[in-house]
């Protein structure tokens, strides 16, 4: 899969978010990168994406003038899963949803309860 196609799938996942989610997203930039850095994946777990920032629940009066939070979706680890095209699209979508949930302040324990682990 080429990067442009991968990015279109990420964009589509964002466009398909419910309106109530889109209304809450604030100061967020979503990017595609090839591979995580050692700082992003220090234990070499093969992460598919990462949220870097301050979740909406953690922001206080002090939060102003900050650089945008980032969601990074990693293309290489997704492709290494060697999934069929439809399965790969679902996995990319799942990664995007997972990281947007972190932006909203939903932690991994709650995501697991909801079936998005």
- Domain boundaries along the sequence of the chain: 3-55+67-114
pLDDT at position 85 = 96
Q: What is the pLDDT of residues 5-27, one digit of tens each?
A: 999 999 999 999 989 999 999 99
pLDDT at position 117 = 58
Phi/psi class of residue 82: alpha, beta or left (left: φ > 0; alpha: ψ in -120 to 50)? left
How many whole angstroms separate alpha carbon 111 and alpha carbon 51?
A: 14
Q: What is the pLDDT of residues 24-76, one digit of tens each?
A: 999 999 999 999 999 999 999 999 999 999 998 888 888 788 889 999 999 99
Residue 82 — very low, low, confident or very high, per pLDDT cuts 50/70/90? very high
CATH architecture of 3-55+67-114: 2-Layer Sandwich (3.30)
């Amino acid at each position: 899969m080429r990067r442009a196609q991968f990015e279109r799938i990420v964009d589509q996942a964002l466009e398909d978010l419910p309106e109530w989610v889109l209304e809450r997203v604030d100061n967020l930039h979503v990017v595609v990168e090839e591979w995580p850095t050692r700082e992003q994946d220090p234990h070499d777990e093969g992460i598919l994406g990462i949220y870097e920032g301050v979740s909406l629940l953690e922001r206080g009066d002090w939060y102003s003038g900050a650089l945008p939070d980032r969601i990074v979706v990693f293309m290489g680890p997704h492709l290494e899963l060697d999934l069929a095209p439809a399965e790969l699209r679902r996995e990319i979508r799942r990664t995007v949803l997972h990281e947007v949930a972190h932006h909203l302040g939903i932690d991994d324990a709650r995501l697991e309860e909801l079936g998005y682990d």
